[in-house]
């Protein structure tokens, strides 16, 4: 399937109204990514095509048209500072389509610009989550609360923030050019039993409850911990897949007033925490067997009392699917400035002593 097929077969009846056809291809293989864009000479022609072709069978292939409005036409592209606010929608039923997801939100929020249900590139089956983009921040913020738990098809939707594409692009550049990753990080990342997510660069105004609410859309959470006076935290899920999805979707996103760095925490079998007295294990000087002073070597000191970096506590970010590698701590490394904080070891998952 190529541009000629779309222009002269699939959309032959409206071909005179088509200005441009573009199929998106993989930069390495040159193969189609399974989607593309058609630009029409007029909005009326685009509306007609969307209304009359969507869901119909495509000629000469066993596939149906799956059409949706693009985020912007080539003549109406938004700049980097253009308003585009995205939410994550989880727990979607298998029969939910892009148009279904868009329609259920557009009914209450006119600024909705589009919706996308993520599908597996190999099987073509939906992964059970998607995204909805808004043109108005207030409507996006309302939808985060009002649509959470609402039924779509046969399941209740779970709503959460999505990662910011602009920030994630910058992180991808950093990672490609030489992000650091420790051998300990490799072990934790590859351990199928590890479900702990490390959250670095955390806003000092974010508390554990807010952190829990931010990560809840991605799965059931076992515990959340923010060490006192440290700009980092830990979120442990009950399943590996939930932790993977949270890292993939929230890495680089805005939580509170800061863009966070997400990576894998230390897996249980790789922990070497010193034995602590049962009665002091949960006191203010250590956390699950880790002494508080151990955090200082990773650049996490107490936040500045005059820090006014929190600009919008309820600011939610947009698209982004890049994974960030972990940083490697060099032996006897000096603490870095706050803006170059390094990853710290995650907490052991010990249970409190029996009474």
Task: Give residue 181's pLDDT band: very low, low, confident or very high (50, 70, 90).
Answer: very low
Q: Please indicate, yes or no, if residue 74 is contained in any of the structural domains.
A: no
Provide the domain limits for residue 293: 165-340
Tell me the average pLDDT across 237-250: 87
Mean pLDDT value across residues 204-211:
89
**Are residue 229 and residue 308 in the same domain, yes or no?**
yes
Same domain flag for 50 and 16: yes
> Looking at residue 333, what DSSP letter applies?
P
User: Are 86 and 229 in the same domain?
Assistant: no
Q: Is residue 5 part of a domain?
A: yes
Does a structural domain hold residue 38? yes
Q: Do residue 40 and residue 139 come from a single domain?
A: no
d(CA 112, CA 183): 44
Same domain (yes/no): 227, 326: yes
In whole angstroms, what is the distance from residue 34 CA to residue 343 CA? 37
CATH of the domain at 45: 3.30.70.330
249 with 169, same domain? Answer: yes
Give a yes or no: residue 312 inside a domain: yes
Short-list 188, 336, 209, 314, CA closest to 255: 314
Do 56 and 121 share a domain, yes or no? no
Residue 351 resides in a domain: no
**Nearest Cα to Cα of residue 307 among 338, 334, 336, 335:** 338
The total number of structural domains in the chain stands at 3
Tell whether 37 is covered by a domain: yes
In a domain, 53, yes or no: yes
Same domain, yes or no: 209 and 325: yes
Q: Within this chain, do residues 181 and 298 fall inside the same structural domain, yes or no?
A: yes
- Residue 77: pLDDT band (50, 70, 90) is very low
Q: Is residue 72 domain-resident?
A: no
Specify the pLDDT at position 267.
55
The answer to whether residues 170 and 95 belong to one domain is no
Token pair, residue 13, equals: 């009846």
Q: What percent of the chain has pLDDT over 70?
A: 62
More confident residue, 302 or 35: 35
Cβ within 8 Å of residue 352, ≥6 positions away: 281, 282
Gap between the Cα atoms of 137 and 323, Å rounded: 26
What b/e sequence results for 16-34 when a residue is b if at least 16 CB atoms lie within 10 Å of its CB, and e otherwise? Answer: ebbeebebeeeeeeeeeee
Q: Which pLDDT score is estimated for 308? A: 34
């Amino acid at each position: 399937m190529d541009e000629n097929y779309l222009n002269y077969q699939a959309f032959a009846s409206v071909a005179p109204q088509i200005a441009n056809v573009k199929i998106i291809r993989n930069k390495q293989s040159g193969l189609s990514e399974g989607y593309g864009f058609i630009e029409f000479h007029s909005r009326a022609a685009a509306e007609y095509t969307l209304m009359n072709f969507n869901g119909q069978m495509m000629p000469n292939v066993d596939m149906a048209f799956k059409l949706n409005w693009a985020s912007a036409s080539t003549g109406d592209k938004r700049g980097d500072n253009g308003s585009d606010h995205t939410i994550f929608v989880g727990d979607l039923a298998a029969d939910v389509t892009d148009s279904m997801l868009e329609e259920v939100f557009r009914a209450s929020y006119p600024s909705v610009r589009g919706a996308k249900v993520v599908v597996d590139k190999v099987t073509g089956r939906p992964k059970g989550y998607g995204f909805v983009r808004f043109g108005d921040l207030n409507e996006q913020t309302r939808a985060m609360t009002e649509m959470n738990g609402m039924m779509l098809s046969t399941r209740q939707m779970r709503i959460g923030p999505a990662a910011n594409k602009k920030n994630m692009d910058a992180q991808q550049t950093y990672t490609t050019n030489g992000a650091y990753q420790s051998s300990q990080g490799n072990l934790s990342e590859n351990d199928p039993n590890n479900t702990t997510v490390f959250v670095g660069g955390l806003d000092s105004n974010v508390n554990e409850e807010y952190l829990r609410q931010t990560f809840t859309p991605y799965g059931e959470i076992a515990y959340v911990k923010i060490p006192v006076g440290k700009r980092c935290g830990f979120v442990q899920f009950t399943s590996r897949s939930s932790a993977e999805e949270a890292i993939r979707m929230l890495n680089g996103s805005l939580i509170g007033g800061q863009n966070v760095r997400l990576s894998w925490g230390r897996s249980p079998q790789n922990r070497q925490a010193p034995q602590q007295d049962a009665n002091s294990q949960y006191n203010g000087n250590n956390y699950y067997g880790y002494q508080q002073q151990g955090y200082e070597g990773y650049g996490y000191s107490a936040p500045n009392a005059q820090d006014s970096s929190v600009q919008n506590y309820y600011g939610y970010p947009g698209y982004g699917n890049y994974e960030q590698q972990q940083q490697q701590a060099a032996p006897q490394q000096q603490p870095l400035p706050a803006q170059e904080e390094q990853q710290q070891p995650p907490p052991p998952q010990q249970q409190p002593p029996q009474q």
